[in-house]
Amino acid sequence: MYKHFIAITSLYSKGIRFAWHYSAEKVDSTLIQEFLGQLKRKNGDIKLGIHKLTTESPEWESVVKSDSYFKDLLVTNDKDRFIELISAEQTLSAVDVAKFILTISPMSPLKLQKILYLSYEKLLKATGVPMFKDPIYAWKHGPVVESVYDAFKSYGSHLIPYEEDDSIIMNSADMTISPSFMRIFSSEHGPLTIKMIHSVIEEYGSLSAWDLVELTHEPGKPWAKVYKPGANKLITDDIISAYS
């Protein structure tokens, strides 16, 4: 008989459940403890579903045959690959954040850039931790994240009609949870990031895109410190943090 150890988590950005599967006739508890320790050191306290069962085969198919609960899992036997993908899930992209903002309040690409920047600035000042790794540039009309610009530039000055993919909406006992919400929530500083984004939208959401452009252009602010016509100047975290 073979014993199986299965650690399951959700990759919210991909709308799937992902598992590390380990099987042996005699389970090596040291290997499992090393796995759990490595995962925690790399990613902090990750929510895992831990399952143990016994079948007549070491193969994953025997697990699925034993319990259909495991049928739709994406599975790996490589613990390092599992940890690598979990780590990637913890790191937000600017487009991840932009999509979440759009689920709260539809807006034009120009306004989205400013709300995104102000949210980034607010979290950075509160924690010293960047919201995402994408660079922020000083363009003519204020701070811009190029990856977000590329994702939504086709909408021009119009509102972006963003809708979540309802094929991967997750339902809890009493509410429907969108993938973009869970993508943010499951990241490092997720609850605080959500709080900061809501705070920025509450404070600035009623302003027009051009009002926000003027706000970011005020003398002494990070954009004003680095902008040069025709240049693609980076607004660094140090410059943002130095501004008060």
Average pLDDT over residues 226-230: 91
The lowest-confidence range among 112-121, 138-147, 156-165, 198-207 is: 156-165
pLDDT > 90: percent of the chain: 64
The lowest-confidence range among 43-47, 129-133, 160-164 is: 43-47
Residue 132 has pLDDT above 90, yes or no: yes
Please report which confidence band the pLDDT of residue 173 belongs to, taking 50, 70 and 90 as the band edges.
very low
DSSP-derived letter for residue 188 is T
Please report which confidence band the pLDDT of residue 167 belongs to, taking 50, 70 and 90 as the band edges.
very low
Tokens of 203: 């404070």
pLDDT digits (tens, 9 = 90+) for 95-109: 999 999 999 999 999
- Give the residue, 6 or 181, on which the prediction is more confident: 6
pLDDT digits (tens, 9 = 90+) for 182-199: 778 767 788 899 999 999
Name the E strands within the chain.
2-11, 16-24, 49-55, 74-76, 137-139, 142-144, 170-171, 176-177, 233-234
Average pLDDT over residues 235-239: 96
From residue 187, how far is each of 13, 43, 53, 121, 126 by CA, in Å? Answer: 10, 10, 30, 17, 16
- Give ∠ CA 199-211-163 in degrees, rounded to 5: 55
Residue 232 has pLDDT above 80, yes or no: yes
pLDDT of res. 177: 59
Q: Residue 65: CB partners within 8 Å, gap ≥ 6? A: 55
pLDDT of res. 174: 45
Q: Assess contact for 124 and 237: CB atoms under 8 A.
A: yes
Judging by beta carbons within 10 Å of its beta carbon (0-12, 13-18, 19+), is residue 33 exposed, middle or buried?
exposed
Please report which confidence band the pLDDT of residue 10 belongs to, taking 50, 70 and 90 as the band edges.
confident
Q: Assess contact for 116 and 98: CB atoms under 8 A.
A: yes
pLDDT digits (tens, 9 = 90+) for 20-52: 999 999 989 999 999 999 988 877 777 789 999
pLDDT digits (tens, 9 = 90+) for 78-98: 998 888 777 777 678 999 999
